[in-house]
Amino acid sequence: MGAMWSAIIKGDYRQANLCTHSGGCRDVCPVGIDIPRVLEYIKWRSVSHE
C-alpha cells in the first residue's frame, strides 16, 4: 500500500518502480486489492506523462 500511497499522494514513484509484480501483496491483502495491477498502472502513468 505504501508504494501506491507515495505515488498517488506524493508523486514519488520510487517504490512503485521497485515492484517486481510477484503478487505476494495481492495474495495477502485482506480486502482483495490487486496491488500489483495498480502499481502497473501507476508505473505506466509515470512513464507516459514524462
Residue among 37 and 50 whose Cβ is closer to ligand SF4: 37
Taking CB under 6 A as the rule, does residue 23 contact ligand SF4?
yes
Q: Tell me how far, at minimum, the Cβ of 23 lies from ligand SF4, in Å.
A: 5
**φ/ψ (deg, to 5) at 28:** -110, 0
Taking CB under 6 A as the rule, does residue 48 contact ligand SF4?
no
Report yes or no: 42 and 16 within 8 Å, Cβ to Cβ.
yes
CA distance 40 to 28: 18
Q: Which of 20, 30, 31, 50 binds ligand SF4 (CB under 6 A)?
A: 20
- Which position has the grid cell 514524462? 50
